[in-house]
Amino acid sequence: MTETTSYRQLSAEEIILLGQEWENYQRWERMREYVTTLYPPEAHEITISVTSEYNDNTYDDDAHILVADRDGELLSFDFSLPWWRQFGLSEGEKTYMREDKSGAVGNVTGAAEEAIKTLVTDLLGVEFLETWQPRDPITYTFVVDAPPAISFAEVLVAE
């Protein structure tokens, strides 16, 4: 005798949840690419905060990105990774960026400054805009080596 599995369609609420989880998973994938491009392999957690900074009658979006290891120690950029080689950073620039623990994207110096803002926009979805009104702060935290859960791997699920 063969066993029969019956399936049901996801409810509207489950489909919405799945969409939100899938969006979060895609965000995690891009975040992981960002971390593995710039930071050492012991990177475990990333926190991305986007705020509006007042700047002479307008507000500029600013991002702070903190990457930590499993013990919660903040990590600096890993300048031995291929992405960094294109800039020919001086030892002074590297030292400054290693010592800066603020996570402020604007504190990246030299030729890498615009490139890292582009990388943050492309992979993390942070646009550095100038606006007339401040935006509400946004913060995301991800575990680098553990993807977020997706409740339903298939649209039809076993009952």
pLDDT in tens, 121-136: 999 888 877 777 777 8
- For 136, the token pair is 């509400």
Nearest to 37 by CA among 125, 119, 147: 119
- Residue 71, pLDDT above cutoff 70: yes
- Residue 36, pLDDT above cutoff 70: yes
β pairing state of 156-158 and 58-68 = unpaired
Please tell me the predicted confidence (pLDDT) of residue 12.
Answer: 87
- Residue 158, pLDDT above cutoff 90: no
Instruction: Compute the C-alpha angle 135/28/51, nearest 5°.
Output: 15
Nearest to 108 by CA among 129, 87, 137: 87
Could you state, in order of their start, the residue ranges of all structural domains in the chain?
8-148
- Long-range contact set of residues 31-37: C-beta below 8 Å, sequence gap at least 24: 31/123, 31/124, 31/140, 31/142, 31/144, 32/142, 32/144, 33/123, 34/119, 34/120, 34/123, 34/124, 35/67, 35/144, 36/144, 37/81, 37/83, 37/119, 37/123
Decide which of 20 and 61 is more confident. 20
Instruction: Tell me the average pLDDT of the chain.
Output: 87
Please tell me the predicted confidence (pLDDT) of residue 140.
Answer: 87
Place of tokens 């994207």: 105
- Residue 42, pLDDT above cutoff 80: yes
Decide which of 58 and 37 is more confident. 37
pTM of the entire predicted model? 0.82
What's the mean pLDDT in 18-42?
93
